[in-house]
A and B are shown apart, each in its own frame.
Chain A
């Protein structure tokens, strides 16, 4: 794929319109890599001048901070801010709500001030500006899609409408789960839960949420977070519905039209 790194761009004396922060999940998780590629496909097609940090990118420190390890978080934040400020980055887009939240709300206190935009809002803007044109009668026209709110996009940062507007632009039949928007139920991954076994309980959070999504009868469960995607994919598999219901990121849905 045609992807330029910041180092290459800086060497040419150029500056990007926006830095695409890929995040650990988007970089290493096989499923999430597909989301990254879909988003890059869109950026390339639309002609956005962007760059990635490539090997210079590091974990933002979100799971460490939420688990209670402030030292590790501060170490990661320090190094990332050094790199970002070194390249004089002004604007960051990311497909991960956790990275988005930490750049937007927590890096400024540490000297990292950037305009941060989540890819849901970014895609909505591209559609609004007419830079992405969804052809009439696409694959998802009239298809039942339900959208799962990521906690770090929704409650944490009040972004509920942007991802829904993207789905509406696809002419899909959007149906809501019982718990949606500010009532949305967590997928179970946040607060560093992604990296440990769940505590003892009667069921798993991702199964509870997958059941709710499946109950809508939607053919597609859309999300805008790589961790939610993993959790819901596992939940759907647990119910042996993976042949009937797809769990897709909004970027993958948009990219399928291009």
Chain B
């Protein structure tokens, strides 16, 4: 009989890990559909970013109370997972609390710490649920989150609460620990008077639900905004290290202009047809695609966006969500057909509208705010390049500005001879 439980456990773990790996590799493949961008230089600074931004959550601390709550959930989640090690070993070996005897008092200390953290995590998650659903903070009730994204956020918080509760119930109903732990010891009296077999059933049920829950949660991540708990780390490592004001150069256009100005430098032979800017996800840098999968839709970007706060359609968060949604769609085509086929749709127009792109002031507030180093601005500017250079799609005033710059060397229609007239006045 005992073997059946062990086999069931090993099968569950193997399937859980296999399915998760399969999805993670799919996501990796999708990210690499993007354009190459070299971001592996200056590894010292990159490790520092990873430690400060992802591990240390430096940018979260722009709002201290929320950062502390988030830290509790984050640290709690990681530390309590140490207990999962024992659970997994017990499951595989058919043992019960493998380390209890050998660790003795230290075991009690560890489980006490985990239980206290579990309570803190439950409280923090309840506060987060209240912020989302009762207080209704502006960035959480925004239309960006209508439908699945809003449920996604709530499911994650509820799952965390359930997992933590199962952990406490498992300890409370376990007769072998004699109610010796701080929190479960307080819950244990609820089970007094129950027969040993009932207690055993409760304990086993909580144990199984807890570990099944953990594997289910793991496999939920690739479909969820919550994937940031893993991708925040590589995303911080690969964050661009240049000043935020710098826009990527386009060497192809640079050369085109050079050959126009100095035709003697132009290479002979057929010119390759060029594509400018990004119309679809595969035209973006792979880092922008990693950004999209790393986004947890917190909305700090959109809350700080001057266009968004003054009622324009632009929302940097939606830019990231659209990019991920479209990339998933393109990824499914690749799954089915092996390569990217024109499906008559594109990120530009079908997901992100011209009006959204036109509202951006390139102020970098969204980039500044993102706790995990995402740049919505990068995507916006690449799409703008496609709009203007591929489609000649610019508002009339911009076309006027372009022709003024070209002909009068200033964005306004003044004579270049007047440029230093101010000095004479």
Residues of A bordering B, CB below 8 Å? 1, 3, 5, 22, 24, 26-29, 33, 36-37, 40, 52, 54-55, 57-59, 61, 63-72, 74-76, 78, 101, 104-106, 109-110, 151-152, 155-158, 182-183, 185-186, 188-205, 208-209
Cβ-defined partner of B249 (8 Å) among A64, A72, A106, A197: A106
Of the listed stretches B22-30, B110-118, B209-217, B252-260, chain A binds B252-260
**Which residue of A3, A71, A110, A191 is within 8 Å of B361 (Cβ)?**
A191
Cβ < 8 Å to A, chain B residues 406-425: 406, 409-412, 414, 416-420, 422-425
Task: Please tell me the number of chain B residues within 8 Å of chain A, measured between CB atoms.
Answer: 68
Q: Which of B306, B389, B395, B422 contacts A188 (CB 8 A)?
A: B306
Asked whether A75 lies within 8 Å of B406 as measured between CB atoms, the reply is: yes
Q: Quote the shortest CB–CB distance from B63 to chain A (angstroms).
A: 11
Q: Is B405 an interface residue (CB 8 A)?
A: yes
Q: Is the CB of A59 within 8 A of B355?
A: no
Task: Tell me if B15 is interfacial: C-beta within 8 Å of chain A.
Answer: no
* Closest A residue by C-beta to B401: A195
| Contacts known (A157-B243, A190-B363, A199-B358); A72 close to B414, Cβ less than 8 A | no
How many interface contacts (CB-CB < 8 Å) are there between A and B?
Answer: 211
Taken together as a complex, chains A and B put the C-alpha atoms of A193 and B395 apart, in Å, by 11
Complex partner residue of A192 from B401, B410, B418, B420, CB under 8 angstroms? B401
Residues on B with C-beta less than 8 A from A194 are 411
- Known contacts A68-B394, A74-B254, A75-B257, A24 near B364 by CB under 8 Å: no
Complex A-B: 27 CB contacts under 8 Å: A1-B424, A3-B423, A5-B420, A27-B420, A28-B418, A33-B425, A57-B409, A61-B405, A69-B394, A70-B277, A72-B402, A72-B406, A75-B406, A76-B405, A106-B246, A151-B362, A151-B365, A155-B367, A156-B244, A185-B306, A185-B365, A186-B361, A190-B362, A197-B395, A199-B312, A200-B355, A201-B312
Q: Give the contacts of B237-279 with A (CB-CB under 8 A).
A: 242-247, 249-250, 253-254, 256-258, 260-261, 276-277
Residues from chain A with Cβ under 8 Å of B416 in the complex: 55, 58
Contact assessment for B405 and A71 in the assembled complex, using a CB-CB cutoff below 8 Å: no
- CB-nearest residue of chain B to A101: B245
Pairwise interchain contact B405-A59, C-beta atoms closer than 8 A:
yes
Given A59-B405, A190-B361, is A71 in contact with B256 using a C-beta cutoff of 8 Å?
Answer: yes
Asked, given contacts A155-B368, A183-B304, whether A57 binds B419 with beta carbons under 8 Å apart, the answer is yes
A52 and B422 alpha carbons, distance in the complex (Å): 12
A58 and B411 alpha carbons, distance in the complex (Å): 10
Residue pair B249, A28 in contact (C-beta under 8 Å): no
Q: Are B247 and A106 in contact (CB under 8 A)?
A: yes
Residues in B neighbouring A182, C-beta threshold 8 A: 368
By the criterion CB–CB under 8 Å, are A24 and B417 in contact? no
How far is B246's CA from A156's CA once the two chains are assembled, in angstroms? 7
Q: A151 and B406: CB pair below 8 A?
A: no
CA distance A76 to B409 in the complex (A): 8
State the CA gap A104–B395 with chains docked (Å): 29
Contact A68 B384 (CB under 8 A): yes
CB <8 Å contact, A24 and B410: yes
Q: Which of A22, A157, A190 has the most CB of B within 10 A?
A: A190
Residue among B256, B362, B397 making CB contact with A74, cutoff 8 Å: B256
Measured in the bound complex, the distance between the Cα atoms of B364 and A190 in whole Å is 10
Docked-complex contact B243 and A105, CB < 8 angstroms = yes
User: Distance in Å from the Cβ of A114 to the closest Cβ of chain B?
Assistant: 15
- Tell me which of B311, B312, B406, B420 contacts A52 (CB under 8 A): B420
* A71–B365 CB distance below 8 A: no
The 3 closest A-B pairs by CB, nearest first: A156-B245, A202-B311, A191-B362
Assess whether A59 is in contact with B368, with CB atoms less than 8 Å apart.
no
Chain B contacts of A156 at CB under 8 A? 243-245, 364
Contact yes or no, A152 B245, CB < 8 A? yes
CB distance B363 to A27 under 8 Å? no
Question: Residue of A at shortest CB range from B367?
Answer: A155
Set B245, B312, B365, B417: member contacting A200, Cβ < 8 A: B312
Residues of A within 8 A of B363 (CB): 151, 155, 186, 190-191
Bound complex: CA of A39 vs CA of B350, how far in Å?
A: 49
